[in-house]
Structure 1
């Protein structure tokens, strides 16, 4: 039976089910602190044949992203515990899941920041539900070409839990700075493969720092100290001279 609901955003009408969800429903994670918005999206997306997971704040959203492995994330920017731009940045440290930002922030600077930070699309509130669902369908089609991501990575006694940004060595938590964690997480996402210095610098420090290789050398040096990793005989971080680094695949 069609489900209709009227809110301050207007009438919601059922949309035709997405063809990709007819046999295996796509999972959509909605991260928004407004119960009314979550209810609206839950009804509309469910009517379209999608499975919906909800989170009311950033930390819960990141945990759900790791635990449920959604096919797409709808992200509000005005969250109660942390800014949505920060949630997006943390998510992009380990996941390529398509992200549609849904926010009242209509300034061009906010849109540019989100898109440069890894968002795939940006919709401002209030919004038309049919256009929103169409954008969802486009992103899901594009997302099918994406690379699968793991919620946790283990290299021998070293373990990274991306959902909680937690690193342990022999069962004991290792305290890392934001940059140290970002470098280690990026190497873990490309486990066993070389990540160039330029790629690390561009993604972590920004495009204006691609020549500042000394920043990277200092951070990698600190990482090795904290992981008790001998650069001459590395257990974890291997230097590819003149190219970059890789995390050894145990």
Structure 2
């Protein structure tokens, strides 16, 4: 079984004490023979009652990122910068980036997932964005829950910030496309469908760096049962379908 010297869990907390308490208890109960180190970047307001106290021995809680107003996704910047702070403090081979309210419910998942990663020579394994978030990246692990083998992945490539370097260019196109949302022209021109996968939110920089690399990267397949199954989605190619068609 694996010890705390093998796996580090990294989580950003913003008033997330309640969820982290539940998540820690569940992880310990489901993995009685596996250890881990849990790092928390505490981004909560200093007067919040839902902060993780630095004296809490379950976690290694450190001061997180300062909130800054950005041209796009300021909350995502706050989250991504918190993760970036944590990544520099990871010294184990395996890393799990995990949201406070994302729960893994499989028994002995630490041992099983690390063994799966090793057996299949996987560098990155994680969950994609929820399919309902149609503008987000598809078929690539997200910051919600992703495992990294740091013997294969360079930590320098793990930048969880949204794409700010090219914001002036792509945000201009984003605003132009959204001006038609809800109109008849929007529906005729497939404006919403043409925005599938165009968001450059948390984790996009990692996606851009590694999507064509030689690393073996796997994402889980989301269980998704939309309220409406449109015939149009069955006829259109994946890049224009609101329902993902590929596995993982």
After TM superposition, the score normalised by the length of structure 1 is 0.32
Flag the structure with larger Rg.
Answer: 1
From the two aligned structures, give the one with the greater helix fraction: 1
Structure number with the bigger relative contact order (C-alpha 8 A, sep ≥ 6) is 2
